[in-house]
């Protein structure tokens, strides 16, 4: 069984992961409107990853005898000033999510819920990657700032990213 508190917090995190997917899907649409298909495709992969995060928590909650309750998802921003601004927002968002995961771990420890704590460690590690991959693109865009043709090159590079679904439960 799972405590009411942990159940509520995990339901909250399912919502946060779905919002992340929604935000990145919105960024994909923005990049499509800017004729940057590689940037858009990178965001599609990111959206798919966020959906798997939500499902991972969903499955865990069910497995522990909890009850999944889906709440409404906040409308994401639709426009950004520039590709750089969008990726800076993505990086900032990932930092926020890392904070949410850390709060969840703290709660699991307070509640002495070791199974939830152990489950959450995958997310702790995943957030290190999430922050670094968004920041990597921010740095790339900053480096080529205003160089003609450079955005085209980055767009081509970002278009190479592929989605790899998690294979073994709890690992990716
Ligand atoms: Fe996530
Ligand atoms: Fe993320």
pLDDT at 165 over 70: yes
At 60-70, the pLDDT tens digits run 999 999 999 99
> What pLDDT is recorded for position 145?
76
In degrees and rounded to multiples of 5, residue 137 shows phi and psi of: -70, -40
> What pLDDT is recorded for position 148?
73
Q: Give residue 25 CA to ligand 1 midpoint distance, Å.
A: 13
Which ligand lies nearest to the CA atom of residue 23 in the structure?
A: 2
Please report, for residues 28, 48, 121, 157, 170, the alpha-carbon distance to residue 52 in angstroms, rounded to integers and kept in the order given: 18, 6, 16, 24, 11
Q: Give residue 50 CA to ligand 2 midpoint distance, Å.
A: 6
> What pLDDT is recorded for position 172?
45
Q: Give residue 113 CA to ligand 2 midpoint distance, Å.
A: 24
At 75-127, the pLDDT tens digits run 999 999 999 999 999 999 999 999 999 999 999 999 999 999 999 999 999 99
At 28-58, the pLDDT tens digits run 999 999 999 999 999 999 999 999 999 999 9
Which ligand lies nearest to the CA atom of residue 172 in the structure?
A: 1
pLDDT at 168 over 60: no
Q: Give residue 1 CA to ligand 2 midpoint distance, Å.
A: 28
Residues 6+ apart with CB under 8 A from 133: none
| Contact present, 54 and 18 (Cβ < 8 Å) | yes
Neighbours of ion ligand 1 (CB under 5 A): 17, 50, 53
pLDDT-derived band of residue 160, with 50, 70 and 90 as boundaries? very high
Write down the H helix ranges in the chain: 4-33, 37-63, 83-110, 114-143, 150-158
């Amino acid at each position: 069984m799972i405590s009411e508190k942990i159940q509520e917090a995990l339901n909250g995190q399912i919502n946060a992961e779905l919002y992340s997917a929604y935000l990145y899907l919105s960024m994909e649409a923005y990049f499509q409107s800017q004729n940057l298909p590689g940037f858009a495709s990178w965001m599609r992969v990111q959206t798919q990853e966020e959906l798997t995060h939500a499902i991972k928590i969903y499955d865990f909650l069910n497995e522990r005898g909890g009850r999944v309750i889906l709440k409404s998802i906040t409308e994401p921003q639709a426009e950004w000033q520039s590709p750089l601004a969008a990726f800076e927002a993505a990086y900032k968002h990932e930092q926020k999510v890392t904070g949410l995961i850390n709060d969840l771990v703290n709660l699991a420890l307070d509640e002495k819920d070791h199974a939830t704590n152990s489950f959450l460690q995958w997310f702790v590690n995943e957030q290190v990657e999430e922050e670094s991959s968004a920041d990597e693109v921010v740095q790339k865009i900053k480096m080529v700032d205003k160089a003609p043709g450079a955005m085209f090159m980055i767009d081509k590079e970002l278009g190479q990213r592929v989605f790899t679904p998690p294979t073994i439960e709890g690992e990716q």
